[in-house]
Amino acid sequence: MSQLEVQPVEETSKTKTLAAIGSELIGSFLIFLTIYLVSSLSPSMYGASVLLIAIATGLVYAAMIAVFGQFSGGQFNPAVTLVAILTGRTTVLNGIFYIIMQLCGAIAAGSLVRFILPTSQTATAKMWLSAAVNGFDEGSVSATQLQSAGLSFGVLPAVIVEIAAAIIIIATAVYLMNRDDVSSVQSAASMGIAYTVGVILTYPITGSSLNPARSTGIAIAAQNIKLTVNPLHQLFIFWICPILTAAIVSIIVITCKNFGQKTPVEVVEVEENAEIKEEDFADPTNLSETNPSGDANFADTDADVENDSATEKI
C-alpha cells in the first residue's frame, strides 16, 4: 500500500522537474532567438536603435517569464539560477540542468539565426552578426565609430557596465523570489523592466550581454565569419561579471537572513521575561519566593508602624 501511495508522488515530482527543465530550454531558445534577430536586423535595416533592442529584450523576457514562470520560476539566465541555488530557492541538481538547458537554447537560437539570415558577397554573415555578438575594445558595437577618433571601450568600461546591469537584474530577481505576494504578471513586468534598463546601460559598450548564455550562443554561431575579434576570446568577461555579481548578492542575502532570524528570538525572550515579571507581581506567593529581601523590608516596616502606634497610646 505504501508503494502505491509513494509512486504517484514520485511521478508527479519527476513530471514537475521535467516541465521545469523543458521550460528553461524553450523559454531560453525563444528569448535568444528574438534578441539575436533584432540585434542583427535592426542596425542593417532600420539603423542602430538602442531603444528598439532594449524594448524587444525587455518584452521577450517578460513574456517568457509570464508563460513559463509557473514551472521553473522563469530564470533563463545562469547568473539568476546561481543566485537561486545559493539562496536555497532552487536545488543544485535542478539548477545545473537549468543552466545546461539555457546554454542549449542559446546555441540552438544562434545556429538558427545564422542559418536563416540571407548572405551574399555584399551582405555577409559578418555584416549581420557583428552587431549581435558581445565584445569590448575592437569587438564593441561602437568600435567603428570610435576608431575614427582614436578611442575605444576597453575591458574596464565593459566590466563596470556589465556588473552594474547584473546588479539591477539579479537584485530584482532576488527580491521577487522572496515575495510571495507578487503576482506572476508583476514579476514578469519587473524583470522585463530590469532587462530593458540593462540594455540601455550596456549596449553602446558591450552590445548588452546581461546573460552568459546569451553571449555564449551567439559567440559559437559567429565562428569563421572573419570578425575583427573572435567573440570566444572575450567571452570570459561576460561570464565572470554576472557570476561574480550573483555570488556577492547571494552572500549579502544570506547574511541579512541570518541577522534577521536573530531578532524574533530576542523579542520572544523579552516577552517571556515580561510575562514572568507580571505573574510575579500578580501572585504574592511568587513575590515572596522571588524577592525575599523585599518581603523582609516590608515586614520590618509593618513592625515599626505597630511600635509607633503603641508609643502614641502610652
186 inside domain: yes
pTM greater than 0.85:
no
Q: Is residue 238 part of a domain?
A: yes
* Three cell numbers, residue 103: 546554454
Q: Buried (b) or exposed (e) across 142-174, using 16+ Cβ within 10 A?
A: bbeeeeeeeeebeeebbbebbbbbbbbbbbbbb
- How many separate domains does the chain show? 1
CA pseudo-torsion sign 219, 222, 227, 230: positive
Phi-psi bin for 14: left (phi > 0), alpha (psi -120 to 50), beta? alpha
Q: Sign of the CA dihedral 136, 142, 143, 146?
A: negative
Q: What are the backbone dihedrals phi and psi of residue 73, each rounded to the nearest 5 degrees, phi first?
A: 90, -5
Write out the residue range of the structural domain in which residue 60 sits: 13-116+126-259
Domain for residue 56, yes or no?
A: yes
CB under 8 Å, gap of 24 or more: what pairs does 150-154 form? 153/204, 153/205, 153/206
Q: Are 206 and 136 in contact (CB under 8 A)?
A: yes
Asked if residue 51 belongs to a domain, the reply is yes
- CA 52 to chain centroid: 24
The model's pLDDT over 50-82, given as tens digits with 9 standing for 90+, comes to 999 999 999 999 999 999 999 999 999 999 999
What single DSSP character describes residue 229? S
Does 310 map to a domain? no
Q: What is the mean pLDDT of each run of 10 residues along the chain (314 residues)?
A: 50 89 98 97 79 96 97 96 96 97 98 94 91 95 88 95 98 93 94 98 96 98 94 97 97 90 51 55 50 45 47 39
Compute CA 288 distance to the chain's CA centroid, rounded to the nearest angstrom. 59
pLDDT digits (tens, 9 = 90+) for 218-230: 999 999 999 999 9
Residue 197 lies in a domain: yes
- Cβ–Cβ under 8 Å, residues 125 and 119: yes
CA 279 to chain centre: 49
Query: Are the beta carbons of 170 and 79 closer than 8 angstroms?
Result: yes
Query: In this predicted model, what pLDDT tens digit does every residue of 287-305 receive, in sequence order?
Result: 444 444 444 444 444 445 4
Look at residue 99 and tell me if it is in a domain.
yes
Does residue 145 belong to any structural domain of this protein? yes
The DSSP secondary-structure symbol of 37 reads H
| Angstrom distance (rounded) from CA 200 to CA 115 | 28
| ∠ CA 89-199-221, rounded to 5° | 85
Q: What is the CATH number of the domain that holds 181?
A: 1.20.1080.10
